Amino acid sequence: MLTIKKLRVTHRTRNGTVHAVDGVDLTLRRGETLGLVGESGCGKSTLARAVMRLTAPASGRILLDGTDVTRLTGRAAALFTARVQMVFQDPAASLDPRYTVARAIAEPLLPTVRDAAERARRVVALMDDVGLARALADRFPHQLSGGQRQRVAIARAIAPRPDFVVLDEPVSALDVSLQAQVLNLLVDLQERHGLAYLFIGHDIGVVRHMADRVAVMYLGRVVEIGDWSDVVDGPAHPYTRALMAAAPAAHPDAGRAATRTVLAGELPSPFAPPPGCAFHTRCPLAVERCRREAPALRDAADGRRVACHLAPAQSAEPNPTEANTLRPLRRLP
């Protein structure tokens, strides 16, 4: 459904130019959840904003059902906005403090639902859909809990009946006790409305419960992408291995001393990323070639793609069952 090709996004700052997204290729299938993980500053939000057309890419293409969305204007742009929606990390910042719950949820319906009575009906249905008590309709954001505010943001996102929702750390600002409730709501909505999600998170444990597939980013590039279970149980890229080891709660086996790889050294400056493989300054396996030559993202074993000179290439026997099957969604306890 969504294909991202060789996407580059740069930010110009006083200190120079940041290549926040530096040649990313990704695909998202209808109804699936693609998790996107990586350290702070690796370009996850910039990628999301480019997909949402909130940031113009320097180059590359973003195709929605074959149409390049970076070039849309007028009515086509408005239609795109309805199909692709986003939920941000901090609902307090993404909601207008002067709008009541009902008005905030009605707003995205204004262009398409002209009849006021019909709009009011849709608002009530959306509040039911996201588990907001109807009595909250006249409250303002500051009168709501964090979880309720995020439910309003989710209702606004699904109001135009999108196919695809970008979730940029949607529960990171919430108390741990509320996170599971909101994640379960997102899973329910996905089932009921057939939504595809791009789920951004730095908490591996949270992303693991949500995603069918996962893409790992490092300094603006995707270094590994594959089925969630393959990537977590047998990370192929040294950076993914380090990332999993740094999250022992999400993956208890990774904490064992024998397999543990510590993410050593500082994250390099994004203004001057290392030449060759950008991870070579921290990679325990780096060889001379890594300093000179950037590894391409190529097909590796079991249908995943890895950008590392040392990753074993795809075996002669491709596994035909894995390519097009979606794993059933998981609910948190």
Q: Catalog residues that contact ligand SF4 under the rule CB under 6 A.
A: 237-238, 277, 279-280, 283, 285-286, 290, 295, 308-310
Beta-carbon-side half-sphere exposure of residue 44 (alpha carbons within 13 Å): 25
Which residue blocks in the chain are alpha helix, DSSP H? 44-51, 74-83, 91-94, 101-106, 116-129, 146-158, 176-193, 204-210, 228-233, 238-245, 288-292
Our CB check for ligand ATP shows the closer of 22 and 129 to be 22
Our CB check for ligand ATP shows the closer of 86 and 144 to be 86
Our CB check for ligand SF4 shows the closer of 164 and 279 to be 279
Our CB check for Mg ion shows the closer of 197 and 227 to be 197
Binding partner of 251, given Mg ion, ligand ATP, ligand SF4, none, CB within 5-8 angstroms per partner class = none
Binding partner of 303, given ligand SF4, ligand ATP, Mg ion, none, CB within 5-8 angstroms per partner class = none
Q: Go through the chain and tell me how many residues it has.
A: 333
Beta carbon of residue 119, minimum distance to ligand ATP (angstroms, whole number): 34
Residue 296 pairs in a beta bridge with: none
Sites of contact with ligand ATP (CB under 6 A): 11, 13, 18, 20, 38, 40-46, 202, 270
Interface map 27-56 toward Mg ion (x if CB under 5 A) = ------------------x-----------
What whole-number distance in Å separates Cα of residue 20 and Cα of residue 9? 6
Binding partner of 43, given ligand SF4, Mg ion, ligand ATP, none, CB within 5-8 angstroms per partner class = ligand ATP
Our CB check for ligand SF4 shows the closer of 290 and 301 to be 290
- Sign for the pseudo-dihedral over CA of 110, 146, 35, 217: positive
Contact indicator for 84, 163 with CB cutoff of 8 Å: yes
Beta carbon of residue 46, minimum distance to ligand ATP (angstroms, whole number): 3
Beta carbon of residue 93, minimum distance to ligand ATP (angstroms, whole number): 13
What whole-number distance in Å separates Cα of residue 213 and Cα of residue 225? 7
- Sign for the pseudo-dihedral over CA of 203, 307, 231, 212: positive
